[in-house]
Amino acid sequence: MFGFKEWSVWKKVLFYLVVLAILVVELFPIYMVVSTSLKPKIKIWTSISPFESFKPTLTNYQNILFERSFLDYLKNSGIIAIVTTIISLGLGSLAAYGFARFKFRGSGTLSLGVLVSRMIPPITLSLPIFLLVSRMGLLDTYGALILAHTSFSLPYVIWLLIPFFKGVPGAFEEAAMLDGAGRLRVFISIFLPLVAPGLVVAAIFSFIMSWNDFLYALVLTSSTIKTAPVAVSGFMGQFGPDWGMMTAAGTIILLPVFLLALLLQKYIIQGLTFGGEK
């Protein structure tokens, strides 16, 4: 809006103070996680002021990474998120192209079905998936969790990409087809490069969603392929919460997500509303 430049100095100062206050309050919990993870154990139990100075230490990180095999859990989370993303992007981009560029019987209903499926609460789906997976003896396997994750990430990718494919002018396609290129070649050599930004957003969000998942991992895994978020909640139990280790683990899990989110600034709204807002 207009007006900011004409504001008096005092009004501007007040404005910046309000903005600063909002940022401080909003970022405080994140500060708590990161600062606690750097505190020695005794400090966490005794020091009351969150702002009291302390000597940062990496003991908590050493503990979880090397003594509590958090590294393995991170590896599990990474593998599952990456494979889920590859599958969702591969099948999802094909399907999005299909929905965006063809009108066929049932195409409207089917694409709507894909959207609606995004809204199903995971608790509803995790229940039958658990029953089916355990009956097949596939509990605690990568495959089961990856398939479970595609149930939310594939519909997401399809809906995010449809507007990107629709945005490509029809002339591109027609020209290429006239040259005798087949549909699949048109898709790979013309469409994929043109929708590359969409593919990047889809990949990042799909990775984040899978990385962040807690419920499916909780229900479908127990020991071998336990993921990092489930491991964090595990630190809560046993001997009462060990805040140092938990916040260290929390900081490590948050790091890749924050980096990806900051990379994504330009497309964040499209990503969050999965393509609904343009």
Partner 1 sequence: MDTLSKKIIEWSNGISQHGKYHYFRKKITPFAFVGPALLLLGIVLLYPLLYSLKISLHQWNMLEQSEPIWIGLGNYLRILGFEEFWSALGLQLSFVVIAVIFELIIGFAVAILFNREFWGSQVARALLLLPIFVLPVVSGMTFRFIFNPQYGAANFFLEKLGLGAIEWLSHPKTAFMAIIIQDIWRMWPFMFIILYAGLSGLPKETFEAAYLDGASKWNTLVHITIPLLKPTILIAIILRTVDALKAFPEIFVMTGGGPGTSTTLLSVHIYKYAFNFWDMGYASAASYILVFIALIFTTFLVKNMYRE
Considering only 13, 14, 17, 30, the residue that binds partner 1 (CB under 8 A) is 30
DSSP assignment string, 222-234: SSTT--HHHHHHH
Torsion angle of alpha carbons 217, 138, 156, 112, nearest 10°? -130
Question: Are 250 and 37 spatial neighbours (Cβ–Cβ below 8 Å)?
Answer: yes
**Does residue 107 touch partner 1 according to CB under 8 A?**
yes
Question: Are 187 and 92 spatial neighbours (Cβ–Cβ below 8 Å)?
Answer: no
Q: How far is the CB of 67 from partner 1 (least distance, A)?
A: 20
Number of residues that bind partner 1 (CB under 8 A): 98
Considering only 64, 74, 129, 199, the residue that binds partner 1 (CB under 8 A) is 129
Question: Are 217 and 149 spatial neighbours (Cβ–Cβ below 8 Å)?
Answer: no
Considering only 8, 124, 223, 238, the residue that binds partner 1 (CB under 8 A) is 124
Considering only 38, 44, 64, 195, the residue that binds partner 1 (CB under 8 A) is 44
**Does residue 188 touch partner 1 according to CB under 8 A?**
no
Torsion angle of alpha carbons 112, 114, 119, 125, nearest 10°? 140
> Which region among 39-47, 59-67, 68-76, 192-200 touches partner 1 (by CB under 8 A)?
39-47
Q: Over 146-200, what HEC string results?
A: HHHHHHHHHHHHHHHHHHHHHCCCHHHHHHHHHCCCCHHHHHHHHHHHHCHHHHH
> Which region among 54-62, 66-74, 154-162, 193-201 touches partner 1 (by CB under 8 A)?
154-162
**Does residue 158 touch partner 1 according to CB under 8 A?**
yes
**Does residue 174 touch partner 1 according to CB under 8 A?**
yes
**Does residue 26 touch partner 1 according to CB under 8 A?**
yes
**Does residue 154 touch partner 1 according to CB under 8 A?**
yes
Q: Per 3-state DSSP, what percentage of the chain is helix, strand, and coil (rounded to 5)?
A: 75, 0, 25
Q: How far is the CB of 107 from partner 1 (least distance, A)?
A: 7
Residue closer to partner 1 by CB (options 28, 66) is 28
> Which region among 12-20, 61-69, 193-201 touches partner 1 (by CB under 8 A)?
12-20
DSSP assignment string, 103-152: --TTHHHHHHHHHHHTTS-HHHHHHHHHHHHHHTT-TT-HHHHHHHHHHH
Q: How far is the CB of 69 from partner 1 (least distance, A)?
A: 18
Indicate the DSSP class of residue 180: T
**Does residue 198 touch partner 1 according to CB under 8 A?**
no
Considering only 27, 58, 71, 136, the residue that binds partner 1 (CB under 8 A) is 27
**Does residue 18 touch partner 1 according to CB under 8 A?**
yes
Distance, in Å, from the CA atom of 242 to the CA atom of 169, rounded to the nearest integer, reads 56
Main-chain phi, psi angles of 10, to 5 degrees: -65, -40
Site for partner 1 in 202-261 (CB under 8 A): 208, 211-212, 214-215, 218-219, 229-230, 232-233, 236, 241, 243, 246-247, 250, 253-254, 257-258, 261
Residue closer to partner 1 by CB (options 198, 250) is 250
Indicate the DSSP class of residue 265: G
